A and B are shown apart, each in its own frame.
Chain A
Amino acid sequence: MTSSAQSVSVAMVGSGGAGVLTTGEMLLEAACAGGWDGLLTRLVGPQIRGGEAASLLRLAREPVECMADQFDLLVGIDWVNADRFSDEIPLADSSVLVCDSAAGAPPTMAAKARRVIELPLSELIKAHPTWRANMIALGAAGSLLGLEESVLHGVISRRFAEKGGAVAAANVEAAAAGARAVDARRGWVCLAPAVHKTGKRWLITGNEAVALGAILGGVRFAAAYPITPASDILEWLAPNLTKVGGTLVQAEDELASVNMIIGASYGGVASLTATSGPGLSLMVESLGLATASEVPIVIVNVMRGGPSTGIPTKSEQSDLNIAVYGMHGDAPHLVIAPQSVADCWLSAQWATGLAEALQTPAILLSDQFLGQAQTAMARPAERPPVGRRILPEEAPSPYRRYALDSGTVSPMSIPGMRGCTYTADGLTHNERGTPTSGARDHIAQLDKRRDKLDAHPYGSLWATLEGEGETAVLTWGSLTGVVREGIAQARAAGVSARLIAPRLLLPTRPAEMSSALAGVERLLVVEQSHGTQFLKYLRAHYDLPANVSVLHRPGPLPIRPHEVCRRLLEGESL
């Protein structure tokens, strides 16, 4: 890439511990401080130390929600185990590869990149024992990208400030040396000048955005059992819940964590836990309890490769089935899927409010990509609608917790309220909550729990709907940004298509989907699952056009925008 670009993609790879994750964060921070937008994901193996690691960045003039088709710059601090994820770092003829002159470039990667720059990394470190290779590489990358050197040095100084001035200065010197080493090629992978931005901006990950959104939505209790890639949510909540008067407790397992939040929420405190596929599997029985006893809870499920232990560190959209169909019995509940890192903030608030207002469990179906990607975003101007629990206004006699004649949602008393005691029950019960095995009560309460969800006005947040045309692409979750970009590429080639991405996966919205699909003759479904779970879900719940095709793949290889574009341009064969 010789001329300046709207977005450039950078991969920094090294063995675990080489510091590529930190380097990626600092490069993103420097770009954001310079006015650019960006997205950073990390690629790691399961090892804590000594495995492979990569920072994947996309820097851009405007906000970006997905990674690009290929990488413009690949910086290798070392190549130990780099072949393990070379498939996940596609290169083009125009790509620039930076490597240590002592190590050279691995033949497979060098063959893909036309231009190779050798940096004397090992030599410089030998001469300057306080320098670190990742900082030299960071300086070189910043220069190749045309970033303001003083901004990058400011980021480095702040990052190492607490380690003392000498450490910070050594790291700045190292970065400056890296920049000097590629001086003749400054701006080789150049970004177009930054767009001036006003207002507050955040650098935030999807997991952080979920956690912040949950607190804004009213969550004040969380139970936690560690699991990759959801632990970040719980670790952020631990100190921050305390600051707002809430509590996080570590549970002994996911069976306990889900039941702890049910207990806390029964006590009147909006509650959340976060997990991934294996944990969600354990929680499913008690999700049914929350449905039957009408106790609001939020479970954030950050999807990773499955089944079983699968690929804990990498993204997949394969928990759709368990989220939608996992429970035994007829158990209506909410399933909400955020569509971008920024949308995690909104969706978490919306899910919390809906769970509270509808007295039902909500599964927030995020994924590893969204959860662990860090992005620059403008501070959102507006908050989503806030839902609140309906409480009994005065003590009716007798109090009927599961009343059928008080609107679609029956008022829920909170322990401590006089005259409104009741026993919440997972057994089929009557309006008072008393267990029964009769058909009439069973059907009446099943109807009640279905109808309260179906009758709620969800508004325009139910889905993202964009564009016109007789062709539509239906997708969900983190694939939304990929599809949006794929459609934009197709539009540039003269083919238009609609984007339909439901944020609300349960309850289904047949009327709204029908109007979103009105006039659509060809439909492309895009999803990251091996078994086309989303396509099957759509077929089960919605009337689709006759001409339907699917672009799907399990993790960890992401679906990229150009693949969506290619399918759209193939047109007839869709």
Chain B
Amino acid sequence: MNAAQPLKCRPSDYKSEVKPIWCPGCGDYHVLMALTRAMAALGLPPERIAVVSGIGCSSRIPAYTNCYGFHGVHGRALAVASGLKIARPDMTVIVATGDGDGYSIGGNHFLHACRRNVDLTYIVMDNHIYGMTKGQPSPTTEPDFDTALTPGGTGLRPFNPLVVALASGANFVARAYSGNPNETAALIVDAVEHPGFSFVEVLSACVTYRPDQRAWKERVHPAPVAPTDDPARAARRLMTDDGFNLGVLFRGNRPAYAPAKASELVAPEKLEEEFEV
């Protein structure tokens, strides 16, 4: 980053002219608001930030910013973002997907992104439903939630993304609620500034297929205790919380992924010497 250039600091500077496809009342509008506020607070020029996503309603978010964006295939956002960040460590890379993309089809990448601990910020806009395909259950859907695909509910225990992130090695674990865009923005800033893989689960209501999620507004509450850097303590808290604790829940101190660097570079032609007879 060129420190001499004037820094933009209004959220509107980070918004594109593309009109979102989201339903009126969708929680994702507030995530976009929080994200652009966070970018303004970080003071980074838009061209220094890349927003990478997968497939689904929430994954449309890159084009709604005027940063560099990558809207890839279903489930692979973390892989695209990891390649980008490792190849271009000078860029600030934010990954934004949904619960279907991130926890189901992309579940394996979630585990390994946490473990690899590349300096990324991973925002999952979790609405416990597949919205874009019109209302099928995701890994975080409640077991008795009735859908056309699973009449009577899945009967399956919901996935606990925060516990999985912690157990897999994520260096920062937080939960936010899209209805509190200022607090969400502050958590995103914190996540971006924290080294390594930072995971922010954002409860973002789907008013179309999950109108019951309007009640989230009343259920969310700040986490009652300060964040810990002790994974065992964090695990106990995350295993027993009610799913509506907001704030930073784990702040680790693992160094971020750092690929091997040669102290002195050689010309590519030099590499052929090992083959000489």
Contact = CB atoms under 8 A, between A and B. Distances in A.
Interface of A: 29, 32-33, 200-204, 208, 212, 215-216, 220-221, 223, 240, 242-245, 247-249, 251-253, 255-269, 271, 285-286, 288-289, 293, 376, 379, 415-427, 433-435
Contacts, number: 178
Contacts of A200: 276
B63 interface: yes
A202 B66 contact: no
Closest 5 CB pairs of A and B: A423-B69, A263-B83, A260-B83, A259-B79, A264-B87
Contact of B83 (A32, A261, A422): A261
Contact of A266 (B84, B108, B109, B275): B84
Contacts of A285: 73
A263 B271 contact: no
Contacts of A379: 272, 276
Given A245-B265, A416-B88, A418-B45, A259 B83 contact: yes
Given A243-B262, A244-B271, A424 B70 contact: yes
24 contacts: A208-B275, A223-B83, A245-B265, A249-B82, A251-B79, A252-B112, A255-B76, A255-B108, A259-B80, A260-B80, A261-B83, A263-B85, A264-B83, A266-B70, A267-B50, A415-B47, A415-B84, A415-B88, A416-B88, A421-B67, A421-B69, A422-B68, A423-B71, A434-B18
B82 A427 contact: no
B79 A255 contact: yes
Nearest to B5: A418
B271 A212 contact: yes
Contacts of A268: 87-88
B265 A244 contact: yes
B275 to A, nearest CB: 4
Interface in B234-276: 259-262, 265-272, 275-276
B215 interface: no
A247 B47 contact: no
A256 to B, nearest CB: 4
Contacts of B229: none
A291 to B, nearest CB: 12
A271 B277 contact: no
- Chain B, interface size: which category? 35 or more
B72 interface: yes
Contacts of A286: 72-73, 76
B91 A416 contact: yes
B48 interface: yes
Contacts of B63: 423, 425, 433-435
Contacts of B80: 259-260, 262-263, 266
Nearest to A251: B79
A256 B76 contact: yes
Contacts of A424: 69-71
Contacts of B271: 212, 215, 240, 243-244
Contacts of A418: 45, 47
Contact of B87 (A201, A221, A244, A259): A221
Contacts of B71: 423-427, 435
B275 A204 contact: yes
Interface string B20-64: 000000000000000000000000011110111000000010110
Nearest to B275: A202
Residue from B45, B69, B111 whose CB has the most chain A CB atoms within 10 Å? B69
A454 B245 CA distance: 57
B86 interface: yes
Nearest to B90: A416
Nearest to B66: A421
A422 B107 CA distance: 27
Nearest to A424: B70
Contacts of B268: 215-216, 244
